Amino acid sequence: MQAMPFSAGRQRPRAVPPAGACDCHVHVYDGRYPAAPGAKLLPPDASARDYRALQRRMGTTRAVLVTPSTYGTDNRCMLDGLAALGPQARGVAVVTGDESDAELQRLHGAGVRGVRLNLSLGVSGTADMLEPLARRIAPLGWHLQLLMAPDLLAAQAGVLRRLPVPLVFDHFGRIAPGAQGQAAHALLLELLQGGRAWIKLSGGYIVSALRTVEDPALDPLAASYLRCAPERVLWGSDWPHATASAGLQPMPDDARQIDRLHDWLRLAAVSPRRVLVDNPQALYGFPLFEPDRRHIP
């Protein structure tokens, strides 16, 4: 195959994803939209069309677009991506909480099903927004997606336990391999097991000390989530890998990311369909996907 923008390698995954598989963490970038003041990641343009090519390589069908930290609370680029990808895409926006009901309904109609609060690389939002944001989006049935350092995560335990919306933690919850059993990891397992939260096995190369998804130290961390609550685990590529464009780690091979997910699924004895099809359907409200039963792995 030809080289793909923002993805190393050219081969397809060895493990074929099930029909209807969803990549639950994708960003798009467009120079027509200005970066927010103070934005730390300023990657080149990466379009929905570019991502379509990667989908064909990976064998995925559905996608969840997340407004990246680059744009602050400007969701226009993400919404353009949703329009381009159509009904097989959902969105996660970044908001201030002061938006009108009409604006939130407009976002919902465009396919948005959650709000992200990025307390790691974000340029908007603080931990004080957790409760106000959750109350604001609860009537819509949306979830609150969180990215924060483990010490801050543990410090917010009491707040997180009482929020009135589902929580989604991306990038392995920012837990480093080898930190299993520490306070933040224990809290995530508690929230998962209690049906209060979901975890994305995304950005493994970000939390890895080796800066690669090939890191074997990721295996027990991924398995800890899958064994705790397999019905609450999602997967995402984190394409187009803005941290790689910034030189913080090598550009990932997204086919290998699919293969590594299947390694973790085998380790925890969890079906690929559970994580790649059924769980995204439940969280993001995709229509039920009923493939030919003869081809379900």
Bridge partners of 65, per DSSP, are 26, 91
The rounded distance, in Å, linking the Cα atoms of 131 and 123 is 19
Residues near 199 by beta carbon (within 8 Å), at least 6 away in sequence = 168, 169, 172, 173, 188, 192, 225, 232, 233, 234
The rounded distance, in Å, linking the Cα atoms of 187 and 157 is 7
What does R_g of the chain's alpha carbons equal in angstroms?
A: 18
The rounded distance, in Å, linking the Cα atoms of 206 and 56 is 25
Q: Tell how far CA 268 is from the center of its chain.
A: 20
Residue 170: active-site member: no
* Cβ atoms within 10 Å of 92's Cβ, excluding its own: 26
Q: Do the beta carbons of residue 2 and residue 25 sit within 8 Å? A: no
| Strand 22-26 relative to strand 197-201, pairing | unpaired
Token pair in block for residue 106? 């407009």
Q: Do the beta carbons of residue 39 and residue 70 sit within 8 Å? A: yes
Helix, strand or coil, per DSSP, at residue 118: strand
Catalytic member of 238, 253, 254, 278: 238
Query: Which of the residues are catalytic?
Result: 238
